[in-house]
A and B are shown apart, each in its own frame.
Chain A
């Protein structure tokens, strides 16, 4: 029965209003950045109603002539590679932890969590010195491995959870039918845990994509990532607000389609649904 009482309608109206207000609150910074990104430089601080037509796409062209596009590419390469490598190692690791009957799983889980929780500032100086001596400063390899300290624990932990929800009987049945353990993993367990794997990959990518600290410390002009490059628009005696706005939009844009595609998987993964 549908509740059509006035009391319910008022409550629903209030709920919708509250949701819209929250949405507006969350969207204001993005909308503001969008507005700044198309404002002419000499009108950037004028209220929009005073010069509604002072709009330009020059800010977008200007940023293409800066170092920012290559920084964006560096972000893609490092976040993508570290996620890919972490998935290659982390997914089988999660499977092993979920399904093998080895001792010390509890300790392993805590070590993983500690790695995940440890603030990077705690080990940045030894990491920096090690990288300098190993010649890994300002290399993709160095940054990708540094990012794996962020992405790998996340992916292992997440996949451990996902595989734990795959019924043991499914894997046992596959093995009884003659499949090797690798085949059972690839053809039975992994497809069953697919939502978790997609969610883990996306969350891992986002962690690396949004990183500022590691990139600040171990990159130079050759491998600067986009979050650090944004800071370069703030100079000694000027702040290039329009470029910062364009850059922040450019940083957000690649995440949107990812989130749209992965939304379903993330919800499934977080709610722990595996149909067995």
Chain B
């Protein structure tokens, strides 16, 4: 900012808007413009005019990159906000995402928009309390207004901890019946885990952008990347550590790599005799172990390009190679 105002001083208020507009899209324009215009305006002409002129111009500049971005909304149902925190934990990566690829056009926690607008991607966090008609209306509206609905995290996907119907944090005493969003609406993409890692949310956001705005080649890659997560959404709305037993070990697919042990957020899994052993009292039914298992899905068309895809994502996020 100091540099910018120096620049402006050099040009003596000739066109103070131009250098300012570039880094602006994310920050709130109003409080910045008012104090800035004052010191430079010196004896110039009419301070009142300057203010009025600037605002619309900034908005124009903002719209340019926005036109190519996708819109993402965060729909908060009954969840702990941990998934949103995970999104925010991309740190500077979140700014890159919002600068270049997506506008967060609905997010009760971070953006001041009350009604669920039309959006390209709805990241839904939390399960739906069916005793709360607002929640039920909201999830239906999210489905109607979003092109792609992502179940962000295990509560939205499987109910997770809310399925235990305990916790003592009810808004009203009758709030105790929670269903995964997939029980009420069609869900396009599942991103399970409690919470899904920042990197996985970033990857899905970048891939959604490529799917909706990319070249044909990029669309193909994004579709291939997202397909297993779409299949996961079709698989059902229940998950448990025992999925590993039923759908991996019993199917003769487990080879004892230990991925599930590392994935489990509550350390409910240990390896016994080369196979996962699930402590069902600890399991919170988040489904992360099954989703992360290399024998739940393993798409060679995507995995064989792991190096190139890693580079694409790094490049998209403005990270150089090392």
Whether A and B are associated in the same complex: the answer reads no
Which A residues lie at the B interface, using CB under 8 A? none
